[in-house]
Structure 1
Amino acid sequence: MTSSTPSPRLPWVDTARGAAIVLVITHHAVLFTTAEGLGHPAWTAANETLRLLRMPLFFFLSGLLAVRAVHRPWPDLLRRRTTNDLWVYLLWASAAFAAFTLLPYARDDVPPGPRGWLDQTLLLPDNGAWYLLALALYLPLGRLTRAVPTAVLLPAAAALAAALGPGQLVRYSFVWSDLLTLFVFFAAGLRLHGPALRVATRVPGPLAVTALAAATGLLALATTALGLTQVPGVRLLVGAAAVLAGCAVAVRLAPTRAGRALAHVGRRTLPVYVTHEIVLGLLVLPLAPAAGTAAGGPLSLLAPALLVAAALAVCLPLRGPLARVPWLLHAPWAAPRQREVRPTVGVATVPGARRAPDRVRGA
């Protein structure tokens, strides 16, 4: 039975999720500007470095807030979460496929040549909604491994990711090559949620947190500069540092104006996540005529930041309209009569606490 009293909020988790989704949008903004001939070396280098940081943090937070889900009965988990995530993924991946069939663009992280809907959505997925596909796989896996001790599960998952994550798979689909590695962070969030919440109350002062963030950034930069990203275990090490630094920075940043602004985004990650790639593809079109002459110049330096700001301005207000259209943010069979906030994409609350009903599931 759902309590009518709101559960305790974790503002720093909302802040961290907001920062992670902004980094995801930035990643795609750089890809779009580069595809239009407006690439800047500084953005390219930054994007390669941030590639190692943003998704480990995102999936750790998702695991942190998925504890209730993996303890649900199997029918409930499959109906309300797994098949629901798969529905939303297929719906928005299909929308992106249609959009970029009409507005094609080149990317250097997907296989060349013509590819159909089945390839781009399921066989060799390369669209911006793939996070939901990963969740649809991770949640049942988290449920299946509930009885496995944490001291066994996390080292085993890390060893498997280190052995099989890098290598040939990356040539065919960056999604499949990342799934093993990112499951480690999702599982860590599931299993270490108690210690993580306790540690978050004892984060050191601003100087120490700044030093940790700087050291993590330098580690990621050195990893990409030295070409070590495909060395087994390196991405896990950098990702672990990203989780520690990202959570510590979010705790310190949460009470500030910037932290509250990021938390506002973090409470609306689902509608932003599923729409931002299509929105960016449309927003970048007016910049196309400047391609070539502006490459490497001031416009190419500003273009990704302008696109991110514009995409947020468009995507954030879409939350209400999308929620009012049936089945855009949830599957027909997964819509409850009293919709709850989904813990992996919505308001951050203490795992295990009771949650008040909310108008918009997945808000």
Structure 2
Amino acid sequence: MTRTEGGEDRVYWADTAKGLIILIIVLSHGALFVEGAGYPQAGMRNAIGAVTPVGMPLFFMISGMFSRRYLDGSWSGFWHGRLKALIWVMLIWIPIDWLLYSIFPNFRDPLHGKYLWQLLTAWIFPSSYLWFIWSLGVYSLLAWALGRRHARTWLALSVLVTFAMLGLTTWHLDHYGLHLLAQDYYLRGALSYFFYFYLGYVCRDWIVRAATLPAIPTLIVTLTGYGLLAWIAMMVKGVVPGAAIKFVAIAIGMLGAIYLGKTLALRADTRRFFGRLGQMTLPIYLTHLLFMMPLCYWLAKLHSPFLLQSGVALAIVVSLIGILGSVAITALALSLGLTFFFFPPKLRLFARIDALLGRPPREPAGDTEEVVEAR
């Protein structure tokens, strides 16, 4: 670890782990959209599906770890340091997301982008791929309100929700009358991960200490344990034992991902590559579908017999185009001064709103969170 300008220790494995996670997310979307275009991707989906249960919990935990300076402070510090930026991102990207789905209808969410009222309900319920930004804002607000005074109680309550989301299938949710949860994938995701965000916020120091074991031996042990428990979880039918095994498997898998990130951070070249991806998580997440969805819409129209034989290569190529396009369009936007796509502009109207909600801290701290470092 090194010291940042804000005076906080730099945890390189967090950057590289986030880089791995965003790569997995884009590959996952690539497989889903390519398959939706009519090109089977069972192999890619199965491979990605083996690691996706770890990705989002780890990402939210890392986000919680680097939010403490905002969550422990005043409302003013929280508003200027975290909440305002997330609200602005939603304000800009909800219409873009809606328009994208309107122009390029998607099999996974065919109704999204059809009705204007969805531009309003997206603020109330998580929708489309912006569920992640919505969740991050809600988690941050909830964690700031709860604080760390009764952390064990809040952790215990939040882990019960996570257990329920892990153990209850759509059949169970429908059976118990929770039809909205059964039908809404994004809402289930939002309910699943607050525990991990709050855990990162409360237990940051413990998590950092847990990452001090020898990297490669720990990586081998944890990834082996994760694979074994994930296999056992598929065999278990009961709701409670199934949820318990999945929860432990995810915890071990997260530890394995931390040590994979730590191993990648040992080398300057891999630390630079994956670390830069990790620092650009927000713009990559927001912009990769701008390239992926039109491309897959065109592939569906093309329906090439040759590409039908390409297997996972097609999904990988589409995903790479999504990542490279995201990096390019982000660099272009920043070079042209179009930072309002990612950051709140300094307008007189917003200055008045800030005055009502509280003045910013005199010396805002630096942050390793992607909302800031995408600059």
| Counterpart in the other structure of 1:354 | none
Structure 1 residue 136: deviation in Å? 1.0
Residues 1:275 and 1:228: Cα distance change in structure 2 (over 3 Å):
farther
User: Is the 1:13–1:250 contact (alpha carbons within 8 Å) kept by the matching residues of 2?
Assistant: yes
User: Is the 1:65–1:190 contact (alpha carbons within 8 Å) kept by the matching residues of 2?
Assistant: yes
Q: 1 or 2, which has the higher helix percentage? A: 2
Residues 1:66 and 1:161: Cα distance change in structure 2 (over 3 Å):
same
Could you say what secondary structure the match of 1:17 adopts?
helix
1:92 and 1:100 map into 2 onto residues whose CA distance is: 12
| Counterpart in the other structure of 1:242 | 253
- 1:103 to 2:104 alignment: yes
Identify which of 308, 313, 322 aligns with 2:324. Answer: 313
User: Is the 2:6–2:367 contact (alpha carbons within 8 Å) kept by the matching residues of 1?
Assistant: no
User: Is the 1:294–1:300 contact (alpha carbons within 8 Å) kept by the matching residues of 2?
Assistant: no
| Counterpart in the other structure of 2:115 | 116
Identify which of 193, 201, 214 aligns with 1:204. Answer: 214
1:289 and 1:134 map into 2 onto residues whose CA distance is: 34
| Counterpart in the other structure of 1:46 | 47
Could you say what secondary structure the match of 2:137 adopts?
helix
Q: TM-score, normalised by structure 2?
A: 0.80
Structure 1 residue 252: deviation in Å? 1.4
Could you say what secondary structure the match of 1:251 adopts?
helix
Structure 1 residue 235: deviation in Å? 4.6
Structure 1 residue 67: deviation in Å? 0.9
Could you say what secondary structure the match of 2:260 adopts?
helix
- 1:85 to 2:98 alignment: no
**1:40-79 correspondence runs (5 A):** 40-79=41-80
Deviates more, 1:331-340 or 1:213-222: 331-340
Give 1 or 2 for the bigger CA radius of gyration: 2
Residues 1:267 and 1:164: Cα distance change in structure 2 (over 3 Å):
closer
- 1:325 to 2:338 alignment: yes
Deviates more, 1:176-185 or 1:115-124: 115-124
User: Is the 1:339–1:361 contact (alpha carbons within 8 Å) kept by the matching residues of 2?
Assistant: no
Structure 1 residue 75: deviation in Å? 2.9
For these two proteins, the number of residue pairs brought into alignment is 344
Percent sequence identity over aligned pairs: 20
| Counterpart in the other structure of 1:344 | 369
Structure 1 residue 128: deviation in Å? 1.8
| Counterpart in the other structure of 2:270 | 258
Deviates more, 1:136-145 or 1:206-215: 206-215
Q: For CA contacts below 8 A with separation 6 or more, give which structure has more relative contact order.
A: 1
| Counterpart in the other structure of 2:10 | 9
Structure 1 residue 139: deviation in Å? 1.1
Residues 1:229 and 1:19: Cα distance change in structure 2 (over 3 Å):
farther
How large is the Cα RMSD of the aligned pairs? 3.2
Residues 1:249 and 1:361: Cα distance change in structure 2 (over 3 Å):
closer
User: Is the 2:17–2:278 contact (alpha carbons within 8 Å) kept by the matching residues of 1?
Assistant: yes
Structure 1 residue 135: deviation in Å? 1.4
2:292 and 2:110 map into 1 onto residues whose CA distance is: 21
| Counterpart in the other structure of 2:191 | 180
Structure 1 residue 92: deviation in Å? 1.4
2:370 and 2:6 map into 1 onto residues whose CA distance is: 21
| Counterpart in the other structure of 2:296 | 284
2:332 and 2:292 map into 1 onto residues whose CA distance is: 19
Residues 1:263 and 1:291: Cα distance change in structure 2 (over 3 Å):
same
Offset from partner CA, 1:199-226 (integer Å, 9 cap, x none): 22x2224144123123324433554576
Residue 105 of structure 2 aligns with an amino acid whose one-letter code is: P
Deviates more, 1:39-48 or 1:177-186: 39-48
Residue 325 of structure 1 aligns with an amino acid whose one-letter code is: L
Structure 1 residue 6: deviation in Å? 6.6
Q: Unmatched 5+ residue regions in structure 1?
A: 347-359
Deviates more, 1:52-61 or 1:168-177: 168-177
Residues 1:278 and 1:149: Cα distance change in structure 2 (over 3 Å):
same
Structure 1 residue 62: deviation in Å? 0.6
User: Is the 1:150–1:191 contact (alpha carbons within 8 Å) kept by the matching residues of 2?
Assistant: yes
Could you say what secondary structure the match of 1:327 adopts?
helix
User: Is the 1:37–1:291 contact (alpha carbons within 8 Å) kept by the matching residues of 2?
Assistant: yes
Q: TM-score, normalised by structure 1?
A: 0.82
Offset from partner CA, 1:141-184 (integer Å, 9 cap, x none): 11111143333221221023324674344433222112232001
User: Is the 1:15–1:253 contact (alpha carbons within 8 Å) kept by the matching residues of 2?
Assistant: yes
Deviates more, 1:148-157 or 1:64-73: 148-157
Could you say what secondary structure the match of 2:370 adopts?
coil
| Counterpart in the other structure of 2:357 | none
1:159 and 1:62 map into 2 onto residues whose CA distance is: 21
Structure 1 residue 80: deviation in Å? 4.0
Could you say what secondary structure the match of 2:38 adopts?
coil
Offset from partner CA, 1:57-90 (integer Å, 9 cap, x none): 1101111111111022113313442232022023
User: Is the 1:21–1:266 contact (alpha carbons within 8 Å) kept by the matching residues of 2?
Assistant: yes
Could you say what secondary structure the match of 2:126 adopts?
coil
